[in-house]
Chains A and B, each alone.
Chain A
Amino acid sequence: MTRFLIRRIVFGLITLWVIITLVFVLYYARPGVDPARELAGRAVTPALLENINKEYGFNLPVIVQYWNYLKRLVPIPGQFNLGTSNVNRLPVTTIIAQAVPIDISLAVGSAILWMVLGISVGVLAARRPRSLWDRGATVFVLTGVSMPTFILGLLLLYVLYYLLTIHGIAIFPKPGSWTPFTQNPLEWAHDLLLPWITLALITAATYSRLTRSSLLETLGEDYIRTARAKGLSERRVVYRHGLRSSLTPIVTQFGIDLATVLGGAIITESIFGLPGLGLTVVQAIEVENLPVVIGIVLVASFFVVAANIVVDALYAVLDPRVRVS
Chain B
Amino acid sequence: MSLSTVEAIAGDLPPEDPAVKGIQGRTPLQLVVARLRTDRVAIISIVVILLIIILAIAAPLIAGITGHGATDANVDTGTDASGQPLPPGSAGYLLGTDNLGRDILVRIAYGARVSLLVGVLATAIATIVGVVVGLFAGYFGGWLDGILARIMDVVLSFPYVLFAIVLVSVFGSSLPLVILVIAFFSFAAIGRIVRGQALSQREKEYVEAAHSLGAGNLRIMFVDILPNLVAPVIVLATLLIPTAIIFEATLSFLGLGVTPPTPSWGNMLSDAEGVGFQAWWFYIFPMLFLLLTTLAFNLLGDAVRDALDPRAERIFAARRKKAA
Contacts and interface: CB of A to CB of B under 8 A. Distances in A.
Nearest to B146: A11
A285 B162 contact: no
Interface stretch (B8-16, B119-127, B246-254): B246-254
Contact of B170 (A27, A148, A155): A27
Interface string A27-67: 10010000000000000000000000000000000000000
A18 B153 CA distance: 14
A158 B283 contact: yes
Contacts of A263: 159, 162
A95 interface: no
Query: Which of B166, B295, B297 has the most chain A CB atoms closer than 10 A to its own CB?
Result: B166
A175 to B, nearest CB: 10
Given A154-B269, A259-B157, A148 B249 contact: yes
Interface string B309-324: 0000001100100000
A263 B162 CA distance: 9
A266 B298 contact: no
A270 interface: yes
A145 B298 contact: yes
Interface stretch (B57-65, B79-87, B102-110, B286-294): B286-294
A300 interface: yes
Interface in B265-308: 266, 269, 273, 277, 280, 283, 287, 290-291, 294-295, 297-299, 302
Interface string B139-172: 0000000000010001011110111011001100
Interface residues of A, number: 46
Contacts of B290: 148, 151
Nearest to A297: B166
Nearest to A261: B159
Given A27-B170, A162-B277, A146 B158 contact: no
B242 interface: yes
Nearest to A296: B162
A266 B295 contact: no
Nearest to B246: A148
A197 to B, nearest CB: 17
Contacts of A264: 159, 162
A304 B158 CA distance: 7
Is chain B's binding surface mostly helix, strand, loop or mixed? helix
Contacts of B291: 146-147, 151
Nearest to B159: A260
A150 B165 contact: no
Contacts of B273: 154, 271
A148 B250 contact: yes
A130 B157 contact: no
B256 interface: yes
B169 to A, nearest CB: 4
A167 B169 CA distance: 41
A296 B161 CA distance: 13
Contact of B242 (A146, A297, A308): A146
Interface in A119-175: 129-130, 138, 142-143, 145-151, 154-155, 157-158, 162
28 contacts: A15-B154, A26-B166, A27-B170, A129-B315, A130-B319, A138-B302, A142-B299, A142-B302, A145-B242, A146-B246, A146-B295, A146-B297, A150-B249, A151-B290, A151-B291, A154-B273, A154-B283, A154-B287, A266-B161, A266-B162, A267-B250, A286-B255, A293-B169, A296-B162, A297-B162, A300-B159, A304-B157, A307-B157
Closest 5 CB pairs of A and B: A146-B294, A260-B159, A146-B295, A162-B277, A285-B169
Given A142-B299, A301-B158, 19 more contacts: A26-B166, A26-B170, A130-B319, A143-B295, A146-B297, A147-B291, A147-B294, A151-B290, A158-B277, A263-B159, A266-B162, A267-B254, A282-B165, A285-B165, A285-B169, A297-B162, A297-B166, A304-B159, A307-B157
